Structure 1
Amino acid sequence: MVNKLYKYKLLILIVIYFHFMKPLIYDFKLIKVFFFGFMVWLNFYTFVKLLYYFKHEYFSFTKAL
């Protein structure tokens, strides 16, 4: 499941990159906004992945008890 998500994330990144790259060259402020948004999104994605992992681990642990 994580591998599938990773592939989709890569695909979305490539699409965003090619869609926004031409305007970004002309507007440096937009680059900063885009970069900040990307970092926030990356951190959120990692957080969700970790949350999913811990939830899964927690339930398997309670089942073991």
Structure 2
Amino acid sequence: MVVGTGMCALARVFQTRAIRKPDIDPGVFAFAKAGFGDYMGFLSAFRYRLGSILGNLFYWG
């Protein structure tokens, strides 16, 4: 129930951002880049990819 509430809240945040800033490409790193610059956008994308890779490795390991 807690995780479901968090997922719905996160979906609403991205929906609100997409409505307010339709010119930004979808994705976590695009919003970070628009708000904080190129370096933070890169770090956001890098951490997302690293987390996905590590999550899959730990799941299968």
Please classify the TM superposition score into its range, dividing by the shorter chain length.
0.3 to 0.5
Where relative contact order (Cα < 8 A, 6+ residues apart) is larger, the structure is 1
So what's the TM-score if we normalise by structure 1? 0.41
Larger radius of gyration: 1
So what's the TM-score if we normalise by structure 2? 0.44
Higher helix share: 1
